[in-house]
Structure 1
Protein backbone atom coordinates (compact mmCIF):
# COMPACT_ATOMS: atom_id res chain seq x y z
CA UNK A 1 0.00 0.00 0.00
CA UNK A 2 1.34 3.39 -0.96
CA UNK A 3 0.93 5.99 1.74
CA UNK A 4 0.13 9.62 1.15
CA UNK A 5 1.74 12.53 2.94
CA UNK A 6 -1.49 12.95 4.91
CA UNK A 7 -1.38 9.31 6.07
CA UNK A 8 2.22 9.71 7.18
CA UNK A 9 1.36 12.92 9.01
CA UNK A 10 -1.51 11.13 10.78
CA UNK A 11 0.88 8.35 11.79
CA UNK A 12 3.35 10.93 13.11
CA UNK A 13 0.62 12.61 15.17
CA UNK A 14 -0.43 9.23 16.57
CA UNK A 15 3.18 8.56 17.53
CA UNK A 16 3.42 11.96 19.24
CA UNK A 17 0.21 11.31 21.17
CA UNK A 18 1.47 7.90 22.29
CA UNK A 19 4.82 9.43 23.25
CA UNK A 20 3.05 12.07 25.33
CA UNK A 21 1.19 9.30 27.14
CA UNK A 22 4.40 7.34 27.71
CA UNK A 23 6.11 10.45 29.10
CA UNK A 24 3.24 10.88 31.55
CA UNK A 25 3.69 7.26 32.64
CA UNK A 26 7.38 7.92 33.20
CA UNK A 27 6.50 11.03 35.26
CA UNK A 28 4.28 8.90 37.50
CA UNK A 29 7.02 6.30 37.81
CA UNK A 30 9.60 8.88 38.87
CA UNK A 31 7.16 10.40 41.34
CA UNK A 32 6.73 6.90 42.80
CA UNK A 33 10.49 6.64 43.25
CA UNK A 34 10.56 10.02 45.03
CA UNK A 35 7.69 9.00 47.34
CA UNK A 36 9.34 5.67 48.11
CA UNK A 37 12.55 7.46 49.03
CA UNK A 38 10.76 10.03 51.21
CA UNK A 39 8.15 7.86 52.90
CA UNK A 40 9.18 4.28 52.53
CA UNK A 41 12.16 2.23 53.36
CA UNK A 42 13.35 2.55 49.77
CA UNK A 43 12.63 -1.12 49.18
CA UNK A 44 11.27 -0.54 45.69
CA UNK A 45 13.64 2.13 44.40
CA UNK A 46 15.91 -0.24 42.50
CA UNK A 47 13.00 -2.12 40.92
CA UNK A 48 11.23 1.11 39.97
CA UNK A 49 14.44 2.53 38.50
CA UNK A 50 15.01 -0.67 36.52
CA UNK A 51 11.46 -0.46 35.23
CA UNK A 52 12.01 3.15 34.17
CA UNK A 53 15.24 2.24 32.41
CA UNK A 54 13.53 -0.60 30.55
CA UNK A 55 10.55 1.54 29.54
CA UNK A 56 12.80 4.34 28.30
CA UNK A 57 14.98 1.94 26.31
CA UNK A 58 11.98 0.10 24.88
CA UNK A 59 10.15 3.27 23.86
CA UNK A 60 13.27 4.80 22.32
CA UNK A 61 13.72 1.71 20.16
CA UNK A 62 10.07 1.75 19.13
CA UNK A 63 10.15 5.46 18.23
CA UNK A 64 13.39 4.97 16.29
CA UNK A 65 11.77 2.18 14.27
CA UNK A 66 8.67 4.29 13.59
CA UNK A 67 10.80 7.23 12.46
CA UNK A 68 12.67 5.02 9.99
CA UNK A 69 9.40 3.64 8.60
CA UNK A 70 7.89 7.11 8.25
CA UNK A 71 11.04 8.44 6.59
CA UNK A 72 10.99 5.57 4.11
CA UNK A 73 7.33 6.24 3.37
CA UNK A 74 8.02 9.96 2.90
CA UNK A 75 10.93 9.18 0.60
CA UNK A 76 8.62 6.94 -1.48
CA UNK A 77 6.01 9.71 -1.68
CA UNK A 78 8.66 12.17 -2.89
CA UNK A 79 9.82 9.76 -5.61
CA UNK A 80 6.27 9.45 -6.98
CA UNK A 81 5.82 13.23 -7.24
Structure 2
Protein backbone atom coordinates (compact mmCIF):
# COMPACT_ATOMS: atom_id res chain seq x y z
CA UNK A 1 0.00 0.00 0.00
CA UNK A 2 1.21 3.41 -0.76
CA UNK A 3 1.38 6.16 1.76
CA UNK A 4 -1.38 8.09 0.06
CA UNK A 5 -3.74 5.13 0.12
CA UNK A 6 -3.11 4.60 3.84
CA UNK A 7 -4.03 8.24 4.49
CA UNK A 8 -7.27 7.82 2.52
CA UNK A 9 -8.19 4.83 4.69
CA UNK A 10 -7.03 6.04 8.11
CA UNK A 11 -8.54 9.54 8.09
CA UNK A 12 -12.16 8.49 7.40
CA UNK A 13 -11.94 5.73 10.00
CA UNK A 14 -10.57 8.19 12.55
CA UNK A 15 -13.32 10.71 11.73
CA UNK A 16 -16.05 8.08 12.17
CA UNK A 17 -14.54 6.96 15.49
CA UNK A 18 -14.36 10.55 16.74
CA UNK A 19 -17.96 11.28 15.77
CA UNK A 20 -19.21 8.07 17.36
CA UNK A 21 -18.35 9.50 20.78
CA UNK A 22 -20.82 12.35 20.23
CA UNK A 23 -23.84 10.04 20.08
CA UNK A 24 -24.06 9.09 23.77
CA UNK A 25 -27.49 9.49 25.31
CA UNK A 26 -27.79 11.50 28.55
CA UNK A 27 -27.96 9.42 31.72
CA UNK A 28 -30.48 10.82 34.18
CA UNK A 29 -32.15 9.49 37.32
CA UNK A 30 -35.63 10.32 36.08
CA UNK A 31 -38.13 7.79 34.85
CA UNK A 32 -40.24 5.04 36.28
CA UNK A 33 -37.45 2.48 36.62
CA UNK A 34 -35.28 4.47 39.04
CA UNK A 35 -35.31 3.92 42.79
CA UNK A 36 -33.56 5.57 45.68
CA UNK A 37 -31.07 3.57 47.68
CA UNK A 38 -31.93 2.50 51.20
CA UNK A 39 -29.51 2.32 54.09
CA UNK A 40 -27.27 -0.76 54.00
CA UNK A 41 -28.56 -2.11 57.31
CA UNK A 42 -32.11 -2.25 55.92
CA UNK A 43 -31.24 -5.40 54.00
CA UNK A 44 -32.11 -6.61 50.53
CA UNK A 45 -35.13 -8.75 51.27
CA UNK A 46 -33.19 -11.91 50.46
CA UNK A 47 -33.43 -14.82 52.91
CA UNK A 48 -29.66 -15.45 52.88
CA UNK A 49 -28.15 -13.26 55.58
CA UNK A 50 -25.28 -13.71 57.99
CA UNK A 51 -26.17 -15.32 61.30
CA UNK A 52 -26.65 -12.82 64.08
CA UNK A 53 -27.80 -10.02 61.82
CA UNK A 54 -31.39 -8.86 61.73
CA UNK A 55 -32.43 -6.72 58.71
CA UNK A 56 -33.38 -3.21 59.83
CA UNK A 57 -31.33 -3.31 63.05
CA UNK A 58 -28.45 -0.85 62.73
CA UNK A 59 -26.58 -2.00 65.86
CA UNK A 60 -26.55 -5.65 64.77
CA UNK A 61 -25.34 -4.49 61.32
CA UNK A 62 -22.45 -2.57 62.88
CA UNK A 63 -21.56 -5.52 65.12
CA UNK A 64 -21.57 -7.84 62.11
CA UNK A 65 -19.19 -5.51 60.26
CA UNK A 66 -16.83 -5.39 63.25
CA UNK A 67 -16.86 -9.19 63.51
CA UNK A 68 -16.22 -9.60 59.80
CA UNK A 69 -13.32 -7.14 59.93
CA UNK A 70 -11.69 -8.93 62.88
CA UNK A 71 -12.25 -12.52 61.77
CA UNK A 72 -11.96 -12.25 58.01
CA UNK A 73 -9.60 -9.38 57.32
CA UNK A 74 -7.26 -9.24 60.30
CA UNK A 75 -4.26 -11.43 59.47
CA UNK A 76 -3.03 -11.44 63.08
CA UNK A 77 -6.13 -13.42 64.11
CA UNK A 78 -5.50 -15.98 61.36
CA UNK A 79 -1.93 -16.83 62.42
CA UNK A 80 -1.78 -19.65 65.03
Range class of TM-score, shorter chain = 0.3 to 0.5
Larger radius of gyration: 2
Higher relative contact order (CA 8 A, sep 6+): 1
Q: Which has the higher helix share?
A: 1
Give the TM-score taking structure 1 as reference length.
0.35
> Scaled by the length of structure 2, what TM-score is found?
0.35
